[in-house]
Amino acid sequence: MRASFASRAAARVRARSSVEDGIASKVECLLEALGADPAFADAVLGDLTEEHARRAARDGARTARWWYVGEALRSAPHLLASAVRHASWRRRARLSAYIAAVLLAPAVAVIALFGGNGLPAQLVADMGSAADIVVNNVRPVQLAMRVLDAAGHVLPDTGVRYRWSAGVPVPVSSTGVVTCTQPGDATVHASLGPLTTRLTLRCRPVLDVRAFRMLNIVVGGPVAEVPFLAVDADGQRVTQLRGQITVEDSSVATVNVTAEGKQLLRARAAGSTALNVRIGDRDAHMEVHVYERASTPEGIRPGQHLAVPVQVRGGDMRQWRLAASPELY
């Protein structure tokens, strides 16, 4: 099981709205589209209306109306996050498809408008988001671009050329081999014939990935982020990361990446497995032990992993007896 992640959201939804009558009903539609819980949406809309009335009396109707629109838009990401958190898996899939459609619509429209016949029409970075490449490698790394035609079909790379143009001095070969010798941002131009794309290369070299050597989690227990720390040459934490987390046995535990780039470790079934975090060209390896809930560890059989809830106050002591296994020889 392998999960890739990027530490920043891939893109932002841009919303534009005109100020006109019936804003409240539009905001209500927005909340409904975002899948907000009706009681939750009611509370938010009620607050907006109440504060709008107060501001209209104090600052005038026009100022209050602008406040209302701005506040509704400011609230939208939080409401979307809340809707996603509380939605069923099916609903989450629908929301994801909805968000993806909103994000992809401009690209699809451009391709439809300027459609071609299989000739290279777009250069898109194959690492990170479209024009933003995070490099955590210390050793030289090959930049990767996808060549697309106007319909969005991937074409073979027939020789994209690269050159550094601004920012921190980073060696960039014409074939796109980059060596992040220091942290910082650089601008790199990628070109293929008449096509040129400007990329922001975010050099964030990671010298070490520090992690616990052993993780213990419980089936049905809280889902936690994979605990690791990526550090640079000065031992400072690196926050912009691209990498992969691999779990050896996905029947025991899995890693899911959220839209915010968090890597959540989920226990599936009791057992042991290994987890590998790879950032740039550095790795961290962890043992993962998954336990199933039980009321007592007494009578535990070889190979079993049991997690027993314990509740104690000052002066309390609990005791359990564990049997030795029979002699084999």
CB 229 within 8 A of CB 210: yes
In whole angstroms, how close is the CB of 286 to other proteins at the nearest point? 9
In whole angstroms, how close is the CB of 71 to other proteins at the nearest point? 6
CB 275 within 8 A of CB 246: yes
Closer by beta carbon to other proteins, 113 or else 323 = 323
In whole angstroms, how close is the CB of 229 to other proteins at the nearest point? 15
CB 140 within 8 A of CB 179: yes
Q: Which residues, at least 6 apart from 124, have a Cβ–Cβ distance to it below 8 Å?
A: 130, 145, 146, 148, 197
CB 186 within 8 A of CB 166: yes
In whole angstroms, how close is the CB of 303 to other proteins at the nearest point? 4
Nearest to 51 by CA among 35, 34, 37, 71: 71
Closer by beta carbon to other proteins, 271 or else 280 = 271
**Could you give the angle at which helices 23-33 and 38-59 cross, rounded to 10 degrees?**
150
Closer by beta carbon to other proteins, 194 or else 303 = 303
- The DSSP code sequence of 224-265 is EE--EEEE-TTSPBP-S-EEEEEES-TTTEEEEE-TT--EEE
In whole angstroms, how close is the CB of 11 to other proteins at the nearest point? 20
Backbone angles phi, psi at 41, to 5 degrees: -60, -40
Closer by beta carbon to other proteins, 36 or else 172 = 36
Residues that bind other proteins (CB under 8 A): 24, 39-40, 42-51, 53, 71, 74-79, 81-82, 212-214, 216-218, 221, 272, 287, 289, 291, 297, 300-325, 327-329
**Angstrom distance (rounded) from CA 176 to CA 190:** 8
In whole angstroms, how close is the CB of 280 to other proteins at the nearest point? 25
Closer by beta carbon to other proteins, 113 or else 322 = 322
**Angstrom distance (rounded) from CA 294 to CA 301:** 13
Q: Determine the distance from the C-alpha atom of residue 105 to the mean position of all C-alpha atoms in its chain, rounded to a whole number.
A: 21
Nearest to 174 by CA among 164, 183, 165: 164
Closer by beta carbon to other proteins, 204 or else 289 = 289
Q: What are the tokens at 279?
A: 């950032």
In whole angstroms, how close is the CB of 188 to other proteins at the nearest point? 37
In whole angstroms, how close is the CB of 290 to other proteins at the nearest point? 10
Closer by beta carbon to other proteins, 14 or else 321 = 321
Nearest to 185 by CA among 200, 198, 197: 200
Closer by beta carbon to other proteins, 77 or else 118 = 77
